[in-house]
Amino acid sequence: MFKISVFTVMIPDLTPEEAGQALRQHGYDGVEWRVTTPNFDKSKLPTFWANNFCTLAPTTDEAQRARRIADANGLETPGLGTYINVGEVAAVEQAMEFARICGARNVRVNPGRWPDPDGLSYADSYERARKFLGECEALGKRYGVRTIVEMHHGTIVCSAALSHRLVSHFDPDYIGVLHDAGNMVHEGFENYDMGLQLLGPYLAHVHIKNAAYERPDAGGVWKGRWSPLEDGVVDWNNLFSALRKANYNGWLGIEDFSGVRPTPEALPFNIQFLKDVIARVYEV
């Protein structure tokens, strides 16, 4: 039915080789590599974004390394989590070459932050992103790789509606959307069923994580924070009922940022939690 992967940003304490072995051990089907210029320091504690040991540089050698690790552990590579920003066309082509070598279908890019750091209006930011994705689509047709944008707070594609508005100009074989219900807790929430119906063929990948709201000690505006899969705002039964209705049977990529369990506990817990949700909703 579904295939389940892990985005390596959530396992910063493992090397890529250790990650491949751990994912195989716990029954995962794939690995979504974090691909960016590494900035880790082994003398310091690992963290998700600032000191992540499970990161591959965007080079040919590292792409071949990714392929060897995946093949050795019977894993597929549904996509690459890059930190490529709008307009960085050369970086997109480099990432697509990486994807071609390691066998990844998708390359994730950021079509624009919001508020725009350069002070652009939404209209101008949207047009810049549309031009950028047009260039990504052309490259994708050459490399056989799809560019995807993630529904993410702090970007111009925080919701299904805004994502669809941007990608609907393009061929869904080469431009798609990564649905992320955990990010939607922070910004961009819409009814899951409505959003998935709207995305239709552009739904390319689904991330699995959770978030909750936290009340400041003195009251006031509540803030979002990451939470474990089993304890947060995301209604998993609702989400998977909508995915079932949409006939989605693609990849589910776990991206747990809660930090409530060390990696050796988080990997088996999260995949079992997800399998239990699927069994409950699909009655399998």
> So what's the pLDDT on residue 112?
98
Runs of H (alpha helix) within 53-191: 60-72, 89-102, 122-143, 160-167, 181-186
Q: Which residues contact 174 (CB under 8 A, 6 or more apart)?
A: 136, 137, 140, 141, 145, 146, 147
> So what's the pLDDT on residue 233?
98
Q: For residue 64, how far is the Cα from the chain centroid?
A: 22
| pLDDT by 10s per residue, the chain, length 284 | 899 999 999 999 999 999 999 999 999 999 999 999 988 888 899 999 999 999 999 999 999 999 999 999 999 999 999 999 999 999 999 999 999 999 999 999 999 999 999 999 999 999 999 999 999 999 999 999 999 999 999 999 999 999 999 999 999 999 999 999 999 999 999 999 999 999 999 999 999 999 999 999 999 999 999 999 999 999 999 999 999 999 999 999 999 999 999 999 999 999 999 999 999 999 97
> What CATH number was assigned to the domain covering residues 3-282?
3.20.20.150
Q: How many CA atoms lie within 13 A of 227 on its CB side?
A: 18
Q: Could you count the other beta carbons within 10 Å of the beta carbon of residue 280?
A: 12
> So what's the pLDDT on residue 210?
98
Give me the residue spans of the domains in the chain. Answer: 3-282
Name beta bridge partners: 252: 4, 206
Phi, psi (deg, nearest 5) at residue 90: -60, -40
> So what's the pLDDT on residue 20?
98
Indicate the burial class of 77 (C-beta count within 10 angstroms; 0-12, 13-18, 19 or more): buried
Phi, psi (deg, nearest 5) at residue 202: -80, -10
